[in-house]
Amino acid sequence: MSASQPIAGAPAAQDGRMPSGGANPTCRRAPKPCHGIARGILLFLVAGCSFHARAGAQTTPLRWGGDAEGGAPYQFQDPRDPGRIIGFEVEIADAVARILGRPAEFVQNQWDGLVPGLERGNYDMIISGLEITPDRAEVIAFSRPYYITFEQVAVRKGNESIRSLEDCTGKTVGTLKGSLAQRILEARPGIDVRSYDGQVNAYEDLMNGRLDAVLMDHIIALYNVAPQPGLKMVGRPEGRLEYGIGIRKEDTRLLAEVNRALGEMISSGELRSILERWGIWTELCGDYFLDHSPGNQRPVAFEDYLAARQASRSVWDRIRQYASYLPLLGKGAVVTLELSALAMVLAVCLGLLLALTRLHAPAALRLLCGAYIELIRGTPLLIQLFLIFYGLPHAGIRLSPMLAAILGLALNYSAYEAENYRAGIQSIPRTQMEAALALGMTRIQALRYVIVPQAVRLVIPPMTNDFIALLKDSSLVSVITMVELTKSYSQLASIHYDYLGIGLLAAAMYFLIGLPFVRLARQAERYFSPEHRAFLVGGKQRQAGE
């Protein structure tokens, strides 16, 4: 159970929640009790009602959602201490929370799912480079902008053919999905637009030649081009965009408070100071915040970031570096294991129930079971997860991420387990049922004592197979804010720009998690096999007759 307490300085990544790493250590709190197999089962019974106690006193944490995978300088894991989330938005969130007299708490959420997550009540506000657009403003409310920026083209050094956006016609240009940059690019004919989920991957593809140019928000360009000797920024500023804090529409009081806090930060110069430290104060900001006084802050945070990225490392340093990822990956692996094991246990129980119903229940129930199995097998797990996590709240059922993840995986795999069991049960000769009935057993007794025990033995190998598959499918639950092994990997990879090494490390962990179960299953199989039993009773005496 030690995993349920966040260790100071290490990420409490289990629940998708981390203490923000700024100046506010008091915001750390134990994550919700989602861990541990026993607790997980308990949670199942209590149906995640821990989410309802909210909106209490002002000392309740101000929870803000963001995607730490989004990268520098917004909010990202400190390259020197991956357990800490840093970034200019972390500092803004901490400042806002401090002014409101509440502790700040960072909630990790996939960027795509930030708005649904807000509506779902996973957090109170979004601070994650969320551009204020009319479309979004229809769904959620925005605070006054806390940052103004523009789009910037980046190319490989030595590429003289692209000097501005105009030169991009006929070229392949990468950008972020759903961004202003994407709209700008798509408005120009003749550009092959590739949209990415994460900024890091786009600049990697620019480096390795898959892209001719990248158009992204200037601050992203700044943080990705500066550490890369092979890249440069070209052209003039394109467009203009404002980042605002996203808040639920009905949360008007919070909106007013946040606007007041931002106003205070602007007038006191705190906001400018944060932006300067991160090296992202531009003339555009000066225009907007009506502050053209000469800067007096060195971009220490930016320099720090560059230094961390450019530090040349010896082999020994690299090994140490990889070793330092292990705790974070290990935590992810624990979540993956808990999740998979619980989901599999449920899936196996539910699957058996489904198979028996499908084979032996009255016709109407049989039909229902068949329909359920076909429906579940015929639709993608990803969509099922989205429906459970984001869809059910509309029906008044709000499950915690862990619970939703377990439920989603369990429901999905129960359909496969049901078919396994059905095949197993059907392969038991009918005469076994007859013999049991002839002894006076009821049909249920016959199933319980005679048929199912024999079927289980046949079902072990395909079940093992499914468990391994489930283990890997569990990576999908990162879309519903679970930080498991794959999510831990992609977060680490995006801050350390190392998809290969950390990827191998994560793959090895999946392999190592699965291995014991494969061995266990093989032992169970052997235990049930006739050869083993012969050994038990001391030698086979088959056909011992005349």
Q: What is the contact surface with other proteins in residues (CB under 8 A)? A: 429, 431-432, 434-442, 445, 449-450, 453-454, 457, 528, 530, 533-534, 536-537, 540-546
Which pair of tokens denotes residue 358?
A: 């499908």
Q: What is the 3-state secondary structure (H, E, C) of 201-258?
A: HHHHHHHCCCCCEEEEEHHHHHHHHCCCCCEEEEEEEEEEEEECCEECCCCHHHHHHH
When the beta carbons of 368 and 521 are compared against other proteins, the nearer one is: 521
3 state DSSP class of 412: helix
When the beta carbons of 93 and 352 are compared against other proteins, the nearer one is: 352
When the beta carbons of 387 and 441 are compared against other proteins, the nearer one is: 441
When the beta carbons of 137 and 438 are compared against other proteins, the nearer one is: 438
What is d(CA 498, CA 190) in angstroms, rounded to the nearest whole number? 33
Question: What's the min distance (Å) between Cβ of 416 and other proteins?
Answer: 24
Question: What's the min distance (Å) between Cβ of 449 and other proteins?
Answer: 6
When the beta carbons of 334 and 441 are compared against other proteins, the nearer one is: 441
What is d(CA 322, CA 313) in angstroms, rounded to the nearest whole number? 12
List all residues 6 or more positions away from 286 whose beta carbon is below 8 Å from its beta carbon.
Answer: 292
Question: What's the min distance (Å) between Cβ of 510 and other proteins?
Answer: 34
Instruction: Note every long-range contact of 278-281, with CB atoms under 8 Å and residues 24 or more positions apart, other chains counting.
Output: 278/73, 278/87, 278/88, 278/302, 279/73, 279/222, 279/303, 280/73, 280/88, 280/147, 280/149, 280/218, 280/219, 280/222
When the beta carbons of 340 and 420 are compared against other proteins, the nearer one is: 420
Compute φ and ψ for 89, nearest 5 degrees: -75, -30
Adjacent-strand bridge partners of 196:
176
Question: What's the min distance (Å) between Cβ of 434 and other proteins?
Answer: 6
Closest CA to 466 of 337, 340, 376: 340
Question: What's the min distance (Å) between Cβ of 424 and other proteins?
Answer: 13
What is d(CA 198, CA 204) in angstroms, rounded to the nearest whole number? 10
When the beta carbons of 233 and 441 are compared against other proteins, the nearer one is: 441
**Which helix (H) or strand (E) covers residue 232, if one does?**
strand 231-243
Closest CA to 242 of 153, 150, 111, 136: 150
When the beta carbons of 449 and 511 are compared against other proteins, the nearer one is: 449
Transcribe 323-347 into DSSP letters.
Answer: HHHHHHHHHHHHHHHHHHHHHHHHH
Question: What's the min distance (Å) between Cβ of 529 and other proteins?
Answer: 11
Question: What's the min distance (Å) between Cβ of 527 and other proteins?
Answer: 12
Q: Pairing state of beta strands 147-156 and 213-217? A: antiparallel
Question: What's the min distance (Å) between Cβ of 541 and other proteins?
Answer: 6
Question: What's the min distance (Å) between Cβ of 356 and other proteins?
Answer: 18
When the beta carbons of 115 and 447 are compared against other proteins, the nearer one is: 447
Which pair of tokens denotes residue 218?
A: 């200037």
What is d(CA 333, CA 327) in angstroms, rounded to the nearest whole number? 10
Compute φ and ψ for 180, nearest 5 degrees: -60, -40
Question: What's the min distance (Å) between Cβ of 524 and other proteins?
Answer: 14
**Among all chains, which residue has been given the structure tokens 């015929």?**
378
Angle at 271 between CA 135 and CA 218, to 5 degrees: 55
When the beta carbons of 256 and 534 are compared against other proteins, the nearer one is: 534
Dmax (CA) for the chain in angstroms is: 109
Contact 325/82 with Cβ under 8 angstroms?
yes
Transcribe 432-468 into DSSP letters.
Answer: HHHHHHHTT--HHHHIIIIIHHHHHHHHHHHHHHHHH
When the beta carbons of 28 and 457 are compared against other proteins, the nearer one is: 457
Question: What's the min distance (Å) between Cβ of 460 and other proteins?
Answer: 13
What is d(CA 151, CA 232) in angstroms, rounded to the nearest whole number? 14
When the beta carbons of 383 and 439 are compared against other proteins, the nearer one is: 439
List all residues 6 or more positions away from 533 whose beta carbon is below 8 Å from its beta carbon.
Answer: none
Question: What's the min distance (Å) between Cβ of 361 and other proteins?
Answer: 16
Which pair of tokens denotes residue 255?
A: 């909106």
When the beta carbons of 193 and 441 are compared against other proteins, the nearer one is: 441
